[in-house]
């Protein structure tokens, strides 16, 4: 992994000296999951780096995360389409033309900086429903497969970025690029899962009843579109 270009430099410093715009192409992502993404390779785990104005850290990034068109939640599916248990009934369902996401995992949390950017560690995958939920609230969570979401020993701990969407620097083997993440992903105070709010504070179908609803005061999270190392 070649990250020598950015080690020790803050994002603001990178912007000031032009490195951010000079080192790679900008990949624009629309504000809705319905955005049609680029052709996707079956690469499960890339390297990346997240930089705030005050800190940075390196992460692995796991692909095959999706937006569910039935419940508005996030879920993992290795077959790129349906999977798990959806609170709206049946399996979670993607549309194959929608964005596939890449979730950073097992890296450092970054404290909130002066412009509100940071990374929160501690999100977990539920083996029962395939959804993503806040691990610290497992005991208060509601799983669409019944009971609470489950934390499976040995599975990844995911790191969700929050704040500004436009300044995420991706470092790959021998190359680097900057991407724009997708905002408006919210933490549900009822089921304790992550859902897409479509710009509002409630959306979809919650396994705890009614619609998912943003936990009061919680962050506006960023989902990162999957990137192919071979495209950089």
From residue 171, alpha-carbon distances to 27, 66, 117, 215, 223 in Å are 14, 22, 19, 33, 17
Name residues contacting Zn ion, limited to 150-189 (CB under 5 A). 188
User: Using CB under 5 A, which of 40, 70, 156, 175 touches Zn ion?
Assistant: 70
Q: Does 71 bind Zn ion (CB under 5 A)?
A: yes
**CA 96 – CA 220 distance, rounded (Å):** 25
The answer to whether 191 contacts Zn ion (rule: CB under 5 A) is: yes
**Cα-to-chain-centroid distance, residue 136:** 18
CB of 61 to Zn ion, least distance (A): 22
Regarding 194 and contact with Zn ion (CB under 5 A), the answer is no
Write down how long the chain is.
Answer: 232
Q: How are beta strands 26-27 and 175-179 bridged, if at all?
A: parallel
Count of residues near Zn ion by CB under 5 A = 16
Binding string, 17-56, against Zn ion, x = CB under 5 A?
----------------------------------------
Of 14, 29, 48, 86, the residue at the interface with Zn ion (CB under 5 A) is 86
**Which range of residues in 128-136, 154-162, 166-174, 222-230 is near Zn ion by CB under 5 A?**
128-136
Q: Does 68 contact Zn ion by CB under 5 A?
A: yes
Q: Quick check: 148 and 128 in contact, CB under 8 A?
A: no
**Strands annotated E in 39-172:** 45-51, 56-67, 74-76, 82-83, 92-93, 101-105, 118-125, 132-134, 157-162, 168-172
In sequence order, the β-bridge partners of residue 131 are: 75
Residues that bind Zn ion (CB under 5 A): 68, 70-71, 86, 92, 126, 128-129, 131, 143, 149, 188, 190-191, 206, 212
């Amino acid at each position: 992994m070649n990250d020598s270009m950015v080690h020790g430099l803050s994002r603001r410093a990178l912007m000031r000296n032009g490195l951010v715009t000079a080192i790679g192409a900008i990949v624009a992502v629309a504000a809705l999951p319905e955005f049609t993404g680029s052709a996707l390779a079956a690469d499960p785990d890339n390297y990346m780096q997240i930089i705030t104005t005050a800190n940075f850290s390196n992460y692995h990034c796991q692909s095959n995360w999706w937006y569910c068109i039935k419940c508005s939640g996030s879920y993992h599916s290795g077959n790129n389409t349906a999977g798990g248990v959806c609170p709206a009934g049946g399996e979670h369902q993607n549309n194959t033309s929608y964005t596939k996401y890449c979730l950073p995992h097992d890296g450092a949390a970054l404290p909130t900086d002066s412009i509100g950017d940071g990374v929160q560690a501690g999100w977990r995958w539920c083996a029962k429903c395939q959804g993503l939920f806040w691990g610290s609230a497992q005991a208060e969570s509601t799983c669409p497969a019944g009971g609470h979401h489950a934390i499976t020993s040995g599975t990844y701990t995911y790191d969700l970025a929050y704040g500004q969407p436009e300044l995420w620097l991706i470092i790959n083997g021998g190359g680097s690029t900057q991407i724009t993440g997708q905002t408006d992903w919210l933490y549900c105070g009822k089921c304790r899962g992550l859902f897409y709010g479509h710009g509002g504070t409630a959306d979809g179908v919650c396994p705890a009843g009614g619609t998912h609803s943003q936990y009061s005061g919680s962050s506006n999270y960023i989902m990162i579109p999957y990137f192919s190392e071979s495209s950089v």
